[in-house]
Amino acid sequence: MSGSSPQSAASGWRLNLNILSIVVFNFVNYLTIGLPLAVLPGYVHNHMGYSAFWAGLVISLQYLATLLSRPWAGRYADRVGPKRIVVLGLFGCLLSGVFYLFSLLGDAIPLLALVMLCAGRVILGIGQSFVGTGATLWGVGAGGSMHIGRVISWNGVASYGALAVGAPLGVWLYYLGGLGLLSGAIIAVCALAIMAAIPRPRVKTAVGKQLPFSAVVGIIWRYGLVLAFASCGFGVIATFITLFYDDKAWSGAAFALTLFSLAFVGTRLFFPNSINRYGGLRVSMGCFIVEAAGLLLVWQAATPWMAEIGALLTGAGFSLVFPALGVVAMKAVPPQNQGSALATFTAFMDLSLGVVGPLAGILMAHAGVSSIYLAAAALVLVGLIMTLTLRRQALRRQASGQTG
């Protein structure tokens, strides 16, 4: 028994390296999102002279394009294979840098420069959905369908890590050489990623008649809705924890965000096999309990350390919800429809994060900042109840299959 342990550890390392060699393309994808993230709002508002509305719109266009292009990314991945869609998405990320450069050429005409920036953001959003969906499916094809949860987890670590690195790096590059140097860095890193991706072997795509997209949505929407409820906790921590601290006259909101991020990444790194061992729905249920406890602790926080522990628990709880539910959602459809399933499932999170901000803002204006954490905890508990229902239905189907 002890002799098999080093062998299994070695095979585990090989599996992780195999997955990471593909997940790195999603790291590049999110790096191109992170690099201009902290630069463009100020650039549009201060340098170009547009209002805060237009500065916000330039950023939001990317998220809207990602949401709308998710279904197309999934369908295309199912038809032509994930490698091709990753390369195509990386070209989109590269083109976003090209359009940022074009905006400099049109600097004398502010409207033209703004149109170029907006075009770059839309193309980046489409590229994000293509690379994100394709890299996950490519990783599943390379690592095997039994490791779907691990692939999704590593993709999440790569994306959040890239955003964490990209934002300060983008500010530094902008300080050194302005938007031109920042755009050049985006173009260069994407070009290197494309050259690294093209020689890599493809993975086989599943053959067979594909379900209509409406049928895929009919299967996936319950899992997607549960994910949307879970995402509310992430949304209110990431967006409003600074305002919460200001309302309490506390300092250290950035530290609470750091704890949230560390818990999110650490949970995925320390529990890579939990989904395979206990099943996606059971893991999700445990995650919902931890996330709700964290949000309730923030709601009742009387001291900064209570809010910090609450943020930590929220990050830890939310961390495995996406991969745990994603495993169940992707296995609920035929292999030839897994791209569409993943893209549809992810779109529910995009939609949730887009809706949470304004709705939480309205609630906050009427009931105070703390109320949004109570509301988010309630929605997470709704997600827990839905997950319990899904698990009971799955066990019932399993029992009827055994008896039949």
Q: What is the pLDDT of residue 1?
A: 37
Residue with tokens 């109840």: 385
Closest CA to 188 of 94, 109, 264: 94
Kindly state the tokens that stand for 398. 């399993």
Domain boundaries, the chain: 11-197, 213-403
Res 76: pLDDT: 86
49, 113 contact by CB (below 8 A):
no
Q: What is the pLDDT of residue 401?
A: 64
Q: What is the pTM of this model?
A: 0.77
Is 213-403 in the same CATH topology as 11-197? Answer: yes
CB-count burial class (<10 Å; 0-12, 13-18, 19+) for 37:
middle
**Cβ pair 55, 38 in contact under 8 A:** no
Question: What whole-number distance in Å separates Cα of residue 147 and Cα of residue 273?
Answer: 9
Q: What are the per-10-residue average pLDDT scores of the chain (404 residues)? A: 43 74 93 87 82 76 86 84 93 96 83 92 94 89 75 84 85 93 96 95 67 83 94 85 87 85 86 84 95 96 94 93 89 82 85 82 88 95 95 82 48
Tokens of 254: 């950035």
The answer to whether the CB of 310 falls within 8 A of the CB of 295 is yes
Range 114-145 burial, b when 16+ CB lie within 10 A, else e = bebbbbbbbbbbbbbbbbbbbbbbbbbbbbee
Query: DSSP states of 284-321 as a string?
Result: HHHHHHHHHHHHHHHHT-SSHHHHHHHHHHHHHHHHTH
On whether the CB atoms of residues 133 and 343 are closer than 8 A, the answer is yes
109 burial via Cβ count (<10 Å: 0-12, 13-18, 19+): exposed
Q: Residue 276 contacts by C-beta under 8 Å, 6 or more apart in sequence?
A: 146, 147, 149, 150
Q: Which residues lie closer than 8 Å to 117 by C-beta, 6 or more apart?
A: 40, 44, 58, 99, 100, 103
Superfamily of domain 213-403: MFS general substrate transporter like domains (1.20.1250.20)
Query: CATH for 11-197?
Result: 1.20.1250.20
Radius of gyration of the chain (CA): 21
Tokens of 21: 């060699």
Residue labelled with tokens 């996406």: 322
